[in-house]
Structure 1
Amino acid sequence: MMRVLILMLSFSVAGGTDRVRTTCTAEACLTLHLEEEQFEKAKENCVNNGGNLVTMRDDNEFQRVKSALLAAEDSILNSKVWIGLELPKSRCTDFTEELHGFKWTSEPNDSKYSNWKKKPLSTCTENRCVSISLADDLKWTDGSCRESAFYMCKFLSKGMCKPIVMEEPGDVKYILPFLEPQAQNERLTMLPHGTSAEILCGGSEDSQSFISFCLDKDGIFGWSNSERFCARNKKSCTHKNGGCDHFCSETAEEIVRCECREGYYLMDDQVNCALRNNCENSPCESTCIPTSTGFSCACAEGFQLAEDNINCVDIDECNQHICGKHRCHNTVGSYFCMCNPGYRLVAGKCEDVDECAESRCDQGCLNSQGSFSCFCHAGYHSLSENRGMCTDVDECLSKPCEDICLNTIGSFKCSCRKNFILAKNGISCVPDPTEKPQNTPSPDHREAFITKLTQLTTSFESTTIKPPSLNKTNTQVDSSKRKESFVSSWIFVYVLASVIPLVVLIVLISVLVIWKRSRKETLKNNNADNYCWVSSGLDKERKKINIQLNNLM
């Protein structure tokens, strides 16, 4: 129905050069360029001529573009045609938006209408541009902007003029604001404001030429120079209706007069007719828009024209997935989104809540679409009952140090005992090179010394040396000395044995020194008396004493 309305209002058809097809309506002109160009070159060509790449922000524009493509003489059914929709390098594909992050190359850059064939490529680094094709019923398809395709420009016009009607044969060349001069084409029935016409009347001998312009005359668009174009001296309604727009009549003086239908008035050129008030008593339910050829109805935002193109019906925006993955509730003339958890409604759209900006975590925070997650720094771990809180880890429990470990907040520190320092790895201990070594026997050496001392004592006690012959008196005195020496030695040994377990290092050294001194003095005394003490003499004395005690008993 919209296509029919456009055709009724504009009677627009294609016309132009060999490689350009032009279609004009009461609101704008569309030019289809049948030379393949890359997207940027196509956009530049449209802008340089005073227009922009065609847009499809609503169903009305969709129908206009489709009509222009169908009116093309060449077969372009399977050809791609650029439209002014692209994804700049500075933006990422966003499937929560109707345009998926793409922007129109002319204002306004956004629209709620979309007509995607499939989801575009997800990218943040590549320019992507949109093309259409009649074979896909003008569904949007994204692709590389470096590809080549036909393109269509859109030129907005303040108003339109009807083509010039000449009573006598002649030629007209129209110079549109955005194209090269166009030869007259009867099928080009609307010309935009600002168009100039080069008119040549008569034959080659008596030809006359002049220029006329499509101008705005108090809201009514018509050609300058109100005289009839190439008028004949003898006028007749039988030839092209006398040049009249509606009705033609002849007087007795063979003068042709033009008249208009009811509700119209004759313009200054005395040929064309225009509505006195295009929107007077219009049947439009909402808004009436006057045009040079009549009127059109329009609806408020959130509504669209019904099939009769007069009444308005509500648009169910929820069918357009306008809320993305969130719930949508349609209202009369509008809608509203009900956001999922982790999102909030901003300017009618659901935006992610940055929970990290609200200090939800004790330490680290990572925001994500619709949610967030907390993490702890090294040396800490999260509490299972409260994932946002972090507590210190006691690394010393795992014994990371070779010697001494000291736990700190978020870390630990190793240290060493006296005479040792930390190695470069901060964990191991190595001897301190500034400390002098001490001659302190090791535990192994102390045990070996005690074993050797015991062997020497046993060997000493068991050794028997024959003494020289002595007189009885000397023998008794010497025996008494030996008894005293023997008793003293055993007492000393017992005392020494009891002290060794208590003081390991110092006592062993002292025992060694004392034992050596004692042994020297004993040998010295024996040498002075020319006697050697042996254990066998003591045994004999013990036996005698025992015999005497037995006899007494």
Structure 2
Amino acid sequence: MGIALFFLGQALLWGVPSWASEEAEALCAQTACYTIHWGKHNWADAQENCKSNGGNLVTMKSQEEALHVQDLLAKLPRREAGPEGQARLWIGLHREKGKCYQQHQLLKGFSWASGGEETSYTGWLREPRETCTSRRCVSLHRNSTAPSSPGLGWADGPCSGSSARVQGYLCKFSFQGMCRQLALAGPGSVTYTTPFGLNNASLAAVPFGSLAAVSCEGQAPGPFLVCTAQEGGGFAWNSPGPLCASPRHGCAYSNGGCQHQCLELAGGSFRCACRAGYRLGGDLLSCSPVDYCSARPCQGLCLGRPGGFECRCPAGYALAGDGVSCGDVDECLGEPCQGSCLNTAGGFACTCPPGYEPAGPGGRQCRDLDECAQGAPCAQLCANTPGSFLCACRPGYQRGPDGASCRDVDECLGEPCQERCVNQPGSYQCLCPPGWALAPNGVSCLSGSSPTTAGSAAPSPSLRPPGEEEPTAGGGQPPDTHPATESPAPRSDPTTRAQPGGAEPSTLQPAAVSRAAGVGEPMMKPDADQATDGPKLLLYYILGSLVVILLLMAFALGLLIYRKRKAKKEKRKARSATDNYCWVLEQAEKKAVDNDYR
């Protein structure tokens, strides 16, 4: 009784709500109550009225909420609509100034007064106005001329002023739960006072915290009941029933006020009972499902069932024989992986061998990993292979011990050149002595000296003793060179130089003359006995040269006479031919030749 008086005092302290003088209707379902209020208000005042009583202008974020609002509007008489059967009521959807129209969004840039822009339901009658310069508010349009279809829809417009023509607004109040409507065991009436200040006698569901005033026929007003939360879950009235019961009525009047069963007792009394799987509430009238899962009997998920419960296990587990425990399922028995399968608690993991990576749905397949495309594992050339890769080197290099690096091959170790060999990165180069040219094969040396005359100063390559290298600048040998042979430079027969025009040969300079070598002919090595036969060979060469010169002069003279007789216009200078090649004699040979001429 003390609790009832406390709530009664609270109801008196609430006083008259700001819209108590207005006609209002309410509908409560599940965890929310929806109310409708008539009167001309701007959007901001309507939202303030709802908020001052613990709610907000109504939201319609789902089809379910839209149906609740539709059921509420269906309870209204047609007289509440306007002259054309139209009714416009504010809802909690608005767009602030500076926030623009968003065509791709369901709410078109609008947001709910209770917070959040998420929604799975929209009911636009037409596209909102595309503006950012003014605040826009949404009203719910209802066409009462079509009873079978209320014709509900959203439309935006100004939030205040004479153009904001609405007939009322809708509020929404959220609660933890609901109590059922009281059923009396005898004649009487019940009036409910909700926490948001609404007095109503026809609520099918009464929100938590509401006060119920019972008036039994022929009795003083009372008792006063409060909708409270029960310890085992659910909501029920705090005072036991039955209410307004009398022996003369028993269970005959409104089932004695019982929700399930009314049991007649001796002396005209009775009591309420519940069906299997339900328990009697604190008011001794209502019945609520027994929560068998409150004791947590299942290792996995517990589902309440009429008269019992059912256990279920999460994915990767199976229900054990006791119907309560859950055991791990070894998914690897079904060979779900292309590679290796590792069973884990409640699942499994697929792994791939080295050189492969997971692919496909859930990583159950394996595909080759292209190591060559990741981090350049090889120094030069890389070839991808299934599950691995191979490294290779360019010509002139060989793989190192690690199989990935490349090191230069010293081709000169095999003595590929006739004279000198110079190793280079990945290759090599052959060199020839001064006066000699590299043959087209890139290995041999060819005579590279050109024809000279007596007046020319072109030096000839000097002879070197066997095994002696030609000195270089600084007295050393070119770096990184490899001698292919140790033989001296080739020598040939000595000769004299003839003066052009058939003149006597000039004083001969001791020289060693090589034999005429054709182009492309490799140079020959001289014999060691040629140094002792020099004077004799020189005499033969002089006599032979004189004969050749005389023959040439005779031929030239005959040719000249022939031309003068035929054309008398051309002249030709006499030419003398000398041997193209000569060798400079050593100092000892030169002295011997000079002595012979003396």
- Give the TM-score band, short-chain normalised: 0.3 to 0.5
Which protein has greater RCO, CA pairs closer than 8 Å, 6+ apart? 1
Give the number of the structure whose residues are more often helix, by fraction. 1
Q: What is the TM-score with the length of structure 2 in the denominator? A: 0.41
